[in-house]
Structure 1
Amino acid sequence: MITRGEWGPGGDGATGGGGGGEPDPRANQVAFSGVLEDSAEDLYEHAPCGYLSTLLDGQIVKINQTLLGWLGRSRAEVVGQRRFADLLTVGGQLYHETHFAPLLRMQGEIGGIALELVTATGDRLPVLVTSKIKTDFDGQPMLIRTTVFDARDRRAYERELLRARQDADTERQRVQHLATTLQRTLLPPVLPRVPGLQVAAHYHHASLDEVGGDFYDLFPLPENRWGMFLGDVCGKGASAASLTSLTRYTLRAAATYDPDPVSVLGTLNTVLNQESRGDGPRLCTVIFATLTPHPDGYDVVLASGGHPPALLLAADGSVSFQPTDGGQLLGALPDAAFVTTAVRLGPGDCLLLYTDGLTEARVGAGPERYEEEGLYGLAAAVAPTTAPELIGAVQQVLARFGDGVQDDVAVLALGVAPTG
């Protein structure tokens, strides 16, 4: 509030002229009128940071003049014509699809994310982005509000990245590094320790130039249980990375809400059907399991959606595929069917999950494939065994195949340590 005598004719708080020392009421009236004209809309339009509002699919419906000025675009070029992701660099679009958007959907708010906008002249503008989902009175999401801060003075590391790229021997090395780095973000860096279980995993890259679609994870659930999954999405490259990220986050979130394996796969199937785009459905195969401890080991309930069956290596040396035939591919049908089976792991038992890149690998120069018979033979030769030893045996097979492994391979094994 502006009080009497606060502003003088000189704008510095001095009182009016003359010898009386009384403030000039006309100066106060002018200043107060200026404040009234400084409307909320004007503050929004010319704020020191950018603001925009989008629909849930990312389409821009409102943007302030500050952000338009940074972009060098008119309101007509942006509102109703572009999604927020369209304003980003190619790398930023990929990060938005694989990380930013899924986290925002799960958490409702995400902040301080470093991205780059592309201006009308093609220049890159480093920014820090904060987004929040606005809900209605019933808690249903309505739109997304995003704040954009100019981060040009905070992005010295971009210059380091540029120098690193310039020092790269070839463009191929840069692409390989990007693909490898992105692939690592789609897999757990370290598998957690599970009481009473030995756990091991391995990921084999068929090509260093492309991001594969195989994935796995192991994570705790309420009531002393654990969730586990392994799967393979359709496609390669950026589209596979985006789908893999969506699938992993959905499986984790669904399992936390309802850990029943069929329910978890059903939720993922619904999400994939809803996320299907004009270029075709988003498909994947998954085997999901819940692990519940019992006095001598773990009870495992497996549900499969079009995925190769798990392989059990028992303590007595026997080997058997766990039947999940009939489980349907996820994302293809609105009401896909899934098949479950139960396994009790006791001391010395080991369970192997794998993707079809292993069984479809060529075993020589000809067309012969490894197939499930080859994997069964390997398991029979090493059983009984431990999870780390089993994964080591699979790695040796993959190394022997060399270029015959034409698709990425993910393997995950868990077992109960033998007694005595």
Structure 2
Amino acid sequence: MPTHVVTAFLRNGPDVLLLRRSDDVGSYPGQWGAVAGHAEGDPDAQARVEIAEETGLHDAVSLVRRGDPFEVTDPEHGTWVVHPYFFDCDTRNVDPNWETADYEWVPATEIRELDTVPELWTSYDAVRPTVETVAGDDEHGSAYLSLRALDVLRDEAALAADDGGWPAVAETARRLRDAKPGMAVVRNRVNRAVTTADRAADSVEAAAREVAREAVDADDRAASNVASELDDIDAVFTLSRSGTVERALYHARSEQVFVAESRPGGEGIAVAESFVGDFDVTLTSDANVPATVADADAVLVGADAVFPDGRVVNKVGTRAAALAARDAGIPVLVVCAADKVALEPHPVGDSEAGSLYDGDAQLDVCDPVFEVVPARLVDGVVTEEGRLDSADVERVADEHRRWADWE
């Protein structure tokens, strides 16, 4: 009879957690693997049990994807049925148990270079991000998705390097650039990785790794910079989901956070839940945004793009919040990495009409996901470079245009 096991990859930023198995384990001592263990009963539940036992992490992980089980036959240990999983992890503070001799957070392509348990790359390949998962992700913010795009570029470049496959890498880069047309940072960071590399797959892999590391640092510094502007702010209003905004709020330690539900999608609800215990949190409806903004001391939002003329693209509802902030006399701050400055203005599309109305009446439906906020309603765009004035934004846009010339 085959033995069922779970293999769970944990990801923080652009890196995954690998564990080197101790000499006390019964199989594959000294080899590198992910979190793993026998799947006794429900593999979904067992994956979380193994994560808690082997890393000490309990509530710090969230499931991203589960892959189809596959068989691995080993002459010494028989047949394993591997159930692969992928989790995002919000910390790197791991407390391993006796099964682990060492651990490292590394780019996933390191799996191909290490002495690992059998078919570890196959497990990763079953759950890793793809162009399609980046394009289809409507839950996460653009900074997060730019890292996932760089993950895809890095992984595909590593695979193409086996065949010297620059054409395959270039095609992956093109598809990633178009995966999220409204998210300038996805396009810019892919272009940056490709344009700073030689026209060879292994060079693109290395460049994607470096751009990802710099991207994480840029987002963190942007959050720190805007937090310093919120030192005397007690109550902050925000909407939608932005990892940079969330980090900024924790840096600033404001006492109260107001969060709009953020339709369509409603991701603001999960954001509000995540703040409980750290702030006094109020979740409000989108229709009540103007009244709620009047009770805040500042509006803080992320951006999916900043146009060269200073206009900001963000989740629908941002313009209403900015107008309400103007009437209340409170500042509107946008925090993002400079990589979110777009090459040029671009159309901002609607969502599917059925998300608002699925009746039979012959009417037009306007249900946008994103909108453009005029520059006059924004008091500051704060990046890792500090506040950007109009000249700074145009300078950054010029640089991003140069990155786009790699073809």
- TM class, shorter-chain normalised? under 0.3
Structure number with higher helix proportion:
2
**TM-score for both structures, normalised by structure 1:** 0.25
Instruction: Pick the structure with greater CA Rg.
Output: 1
**TM-score for both structures, normalised by structure 2:** 0.26
